Amino acid sequence: MNILAMWVQPQALAKAPQGADSSLSLALWFLLMRSVTSTKWFNQQDWQHDYPQVNWRQPSPGDGVRMLLQTVWNCFFYAHFSIADWRLYRHWLLIKQTFSWLLRGAFWPLQLGVKWVDRVAERPVPKAKRWQQKNRIINTSLTLVLALLAALCLTVPFTWQAQAVFVLILMFLGGLINRIAGRLPNMLLIVLSLTASCRYIWWRYTSTINWDKELDLVLGLILLAAESYSWVIIVLGYVQNIWPLNRKPVPLPEDATTWPSIDLFIPTYNEDLEVVRATVVAALGVDWPKDKLNIYILDDGKRDSFEAFAKQFNVGYFRRPTNEHAKAGNINYALKHTKGEYVAIFDCDHIPTRAFFQVTMGAFLKDKKLALVQTPHHFFSPDPFEKNLSNFRDVPNEGNLFYGLVQDGNDTWDAAFFCGSCAVLKRAPLMEVGGIAVETVTEDAHTALKMHRLGYHSAYLKQPVSAGLATDSLSAHIGQRIRWARGMAQIFRLDNPILGKGLKWNQRVCYANAMLHFLSGIPRLIFLLAPLGFLLLDAYIIYAPAIALFLYVLPHMFHANITNSRIQGEYRHSFWGEIYETVLAWYIAVPTTVALFAPHKGSFNVTAKGGLIEGSFFDWAISRPFIILIFLNLSGAVWGIWRLFALPEGLVGSLVINLFWTLYNLLILGGALAVAAETKQVRASHRIAVDLPATVALDSGHLYAVRMLDFSFGGLRVSKPNGVLFGLGDKVNIVLQKVTETATFACEVTFVNEKFLGLKLLPMTVEKEIDYIQSTFTRADTWSVWQQAYEVDKPMASLSSVLVIGVTGYRSLYRFSPAVIRWPMLQLSNLVQWCWSYMPRIQITRG
């Protein structure tokens, strides 16, 4: 087509005759010229390639126009275009590369300096009293000077120009510091972010409230309260996570006779026996002297099948006469009837690896005041977000931030708290606080708070030494979070960490942050509805010109984003937190408010785990609040757009800003909707992906070396050896490795294709079951890829994927809508598609 473009003068087109017939014949003339000037014979493929929007098998009436438009386009624009060939783009890439190379060279001595500082900071502090005293004087005086400077810097009012310059310098510095690796840049970025955010909040308090109009005042103050809440959370979060401890396991002494006795509790209420079975079998296989480990099933469901199961597997069984205080009461009852020095608590679906006690118990023997060692809750099945958004193992899940970073940060300040499962507690401190706390529904955090008040220490080991089932459906997930939120609000009200004695200031900060985090329901709702105040009610909630908004809000958001991305990048990708919070906001708003004012109201609801979702469905009940919010935002957006075009100028800046905010809210709400579209769960047992060697042994005496690709409670999948035939129902044996030995299991073939073999385990003895769990679930290396599989956060990519999820949410809303709504939308989308088919295309270069 280039030949034609060069050959035919564009002026010829300008003199084109009028009338449809002539334009059609012109198109035909061009086509003729095209086929004549091409270097090879034209076939249908060429036509399809040059005019991709035309379906040559089913020509339709508008095709002539389409071809004409495409031909005209090709005359003026370079047809074979790819951005990688564009000279300007190549130059830009080169400039970027040179710039980054120069920066790296310039920063190299700085990087070395930062590394040195980090190393010095990791050294343990000398305990000499005189050193401490001298330092205290220096520290206090420096802090005072700093506080004065900060007060000055944060409150001095700037003109727009000065603020713009200040902000640009800050952003430039932030970008530069972000390039240096290490912990010191984290702290510097926190300082910059605090500067921007504190200036922002000061400005909001002093200059943006409209005292004249009542509606503006009320709404403005509400928004200001929500923003203050956010600011407090940001600041406390920085303090909490400024230096994650990364504690390493302490080795146990060689002599096993000095090791203490442990009671392992597995509380259960209404879960299936299947779920508890694997946990019990895994517990039987944990490495610890058998005479020092007592396993107990605490059955609140009073089921005989569980009692029989406990007897068969030779583990303890407790059935208390009453059911008060749910899990806390259950554990307290068992505490009264057992004697072990330490108590390990596992939820009925959390499987410990063999190395659990080897890794955790050493710390107790080293620190006599240690009362708790907590390990992460790692899930081998996807939670509702990962399942319904299909990002399992691509994007870190919601719990990853807490167990990867927040608890680690808490650990630095000795404020790591008990999370209810996968932890070891020392009996003496536990009995001193009266057993597990029963006053609130989040009994685990409350117990840890009580132990901290008495001066005991806690530890958090970020080793994935156990794994469990995540909540299955969105409703179960929300139910669990409501319970946590209510419980935390209750603790905040009944046993406030900021007041009360026994805690150090940093412990107070960490606990306060944990509890305040759960009060985010109402502020999040306020943020979702805030732009409507201006769009629908014409109230100036933020009484400031648009330029001021840019100069104060943007740096605040920019710095918060890059600092959080830097600190949390491995554990949570940017903007995903918005979706998690939005989904929960409506549901935790009311329970937390009720709990703050009337802590003893409300009931404890147990989290449902391990169910099979029969078909895919859209959880309308759960998504009703989102739809209401979407409707409100949509009406605000529509009204705002109308005002933009219909009403006089002067408001454009604020309107545009509010419209963008509304659009962002709509997309986040769409993301929340996407989670409500539950996908069908294909199989009852969850599969864990691995890549381990195994052997398939046939009864004929043949053995084949294969790779085990995934396993579950009931079976596994292996690679199929080449050239060997398997039929469905064949009996084979699978040989798995168990550290130094191998174990053989009888299986039946349930699935065959060229690459894979699906095997179902046949019924086996108790010993064999223990062997299987030890060869698969409780191998210490099965979970060692936890957190390493995630890519580091890239904020812009993360933002775009979150926004895409938002669009997906609307699509699934549409998909599950009743026909009366679907029909007009379908016609609309058909119309849009028809119009789009007339657009000329850029042709893809053929290879």
Partner 1 sequence: MTRVLVKGITSGVGATTIAANLTYALNASGRTTAVVDLDPRNILGMWFGQNEADPNGWVYAELTQQSWMLGGYVSPQGVRFFPFGDLFQLPSDIERLPWSNLIESLLQRVLPAMLTALSREYEFVVLSFPAMFNAKLLSKIKAFADTVLTVIHCDPVSFSLLRRPSNQAELADSFVVANQCSVFHQIQQDLLLLNQGAFAQRFISTKIHFDIAVQEALTSMTSVVEYSPNAQASHDFRALATWLVANASKQTQSS
Q: What's the min distance (Å) between Cβ of 693 and partner 1?
A: 9
770/791 Cα distance (integer angstroms): 35
587/475 Cα distance (integer angstroms): 10
Which of 216, 300, 472, 619 is catalytic? The answer is 300
Q: What's the min distance (Å) between Cβ of 733 and partner 1?
A: 7
Of 660, 680, 608, nearest to 271 (Cα)? Answer: 608
Burial class of residue 601 in the structure, from the number of CB atoms within 10 Å of its CB (0-12 exposed, 13-18 middle, 19+ buried): exposed
Q: Which is nearer to partner 1, 391 or 733 (CB)?
A: 733
Torsion of CA 284, 287, 288, 291, to 10 degrees: 40
- Per the structure block, which two tokens stand in for 184? 């010191």
Q: Which is nearer to partner 1, 263 or 771 (CB)?
A: 771
Of 518, 523, 481, nearest to 406 (Cα)? Answer: 518
DSSP letters along 347-414, please? -TTPEEPTTHHHHHHHHHHH-TTEEEEE----BSS--HHHHHHT-TTTS--HHHHIIIIIHHHHHHTT
Distance of CA 248 to the CA centre of its chain: 25
725/569 Cα distance (integer angstroms): 47
Q: What's the min distance (Å) between Cβ of 738 and partner 1?
A: 10
Q: Which is nearer to partner 1, 578 or 771 (CB)?
A: 771
533/622 Cα distance (integer angstroms): 26
Of 611, 751, 621, nearest to 681 (Cα)? Answer: 611
785/739 Cα distance (integer angstroms): 18
Q: Which is nearer to partner 1, 510 or 696 (CB)?
A: 696
Q: Which is nearer to partner 1, 63 or 730 (CB)?
A: 730
- Per the structure block, which two tokens stand in for 675? 């989670």
Q: What's the min distance (Å) between Cβ of 249 and partner 1?
A: 26
Query: Sign of torsion, CA 548 549 551 552?
Result: positive
Half-sphere exposure of 104 (CA within 13 A, CB side): 6
Q: What's the min distance (Å) between Cβ of 706 and partner 1?
A: 9
- Per the structure block, which two tokens stand in for 378? 């790692």
Q: Which is nearer to partner 1, 744 or 750 (CB)?
A: 744
Which of 50, 414, 444, 619 is catalytic? The answer is 444
444 tagged catalytic: yes
300 tagged catalytic: yes
User: Please, which residues have CB within 8 angstroms of residue 736's CB and are 6 or more apart in sequence?
Assistant: 692, 694, 708, 742, 743, 745, 772, 775, 776
Q: What's the min distance (Å) between Cβ of 287 and partner 1?
A: 16
Q: What's the min distance (Å) between Cβ of 749 and partner 1?
A: 17
Q: Which is nearer to partner 1, 102 or 705 (CB)?
A: 705
Distance of CA 461 to the CA centre of its chain: 21
Binding site for partner 1 (CB under 8 A): 695, 697, 700-705, 721-724, 733, 735, 740-742, 744
Of 304, 353, 267, 139, nearest to 783 (Cα)? Answer: 353
Q: Which is nearer to partner 1, 134 or 702 (CB)?
A: 702
Q: What's the min distance (Å) between Cβ of 317 and partner 1?
A: 30
Of 154, 182, 149, nearest to 170 (Cα)? Answer: 154
What residues act catalytically? Answer: 300, 444
